[in-house]
C-alpha cells in the first residue's frame, strides 16, 4: 500500500488551495469535513449535493484535497478517515479558508433561493396550463 502524501505546511500554496476548491463537489466535501468535529469516512460522500459519486471519482477528489493540504487522511483498516487542516492552513494564510467557507455559504444560500423560486414559477405555470 502506497503511503499518503500530505504536504508540509510550507509547501501549501494559495494556487493549490484554490485549484482544489474550484470543483463544486470537492468544495462541498471540504465544507462537510470542516463542519464535523470527528473524522469523516470516504463512504460518507458517496452522495454529494444530491448526486451519486463513483468511488473512483471520490478517491480522486480526496487525493486532490489531501495533496493541496486541505485535509489529512489516515487509513483505519479498510476505511479512510479524513479531517480538515484548517488550523494549520490558517497559520500560513490567516483568514483565507474562513473567507472561502463564508463565500461558499453565501453562494449555496443564493442557489437554494433561486432553485426554490424557479420551482414556484414552474408550479404556477403548471397550474395555469391545466385551467
pLDDT at residue number 47:
86
CA 67 to chain centre: 14
- Of 34, 67, 29, 30, nearest in space to 51 by CA: 29
Distances (CA, A) of 48 to 28, 57, 60, 89, 91: 7, 12, 14, 24, 29
For the domain spanning 9-104, the CATH number is 1.10.10.10
pTM, 2 dp: 0.84
Separation CA 113–CA 23 (nearest Å): 21
What is the predicted pLDDT for the residue at 130? 53
pLDDT of res. 84? 95
pLDDT by residue, tens only, the chain of 131 residues: 678 889 999 999 999 999 999 999 999 999 999 998 888 888 888 888 788 999 899 999 999 999 999 999 998 888 889 999 999 999 999 999 999 999 999 999 999 899 889 888 888 888 765 55
Amino acid at each position: 500500500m502506497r503511503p499518503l502524501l500530505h504536504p508540509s505546511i510550507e509547501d501549501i500554496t494559495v494556487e493549490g488551495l484554490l485549484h482544489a476548491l474550484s470543483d463544486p463537489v470537492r468544495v462541498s466535501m471540504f465544507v462537510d469535513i470542516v463542519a464535523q468535529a470527528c473524522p469523516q469516512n470516504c463512504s460518507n460522500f458517496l452522495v454529494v449535493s444530491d448526486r451519486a459519486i463513483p468511488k473512483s471519482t471520490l478517491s480522486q477528489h480526496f487525493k486532490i484535497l489531501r495533496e493541496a493540504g486541505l485535509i489529512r487522511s489516515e487509513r483505519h483498516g479498510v476505511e479512510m478517515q479524513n479531517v480538515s487542516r484548517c488550523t494549520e492552513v490558517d497559520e500560513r494564510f490567516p483568514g483565507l479558508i474562513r473567507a472561502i467557507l463564508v463565500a461558499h455559504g453565501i453562494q449555496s444560500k443564493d442557489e437554494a433561493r433561486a432553485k426554490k423560486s424557479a420551482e414556484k414559477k414552474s408550479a404556477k405555470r403548471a397550474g395555469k396550463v391545466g385551467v
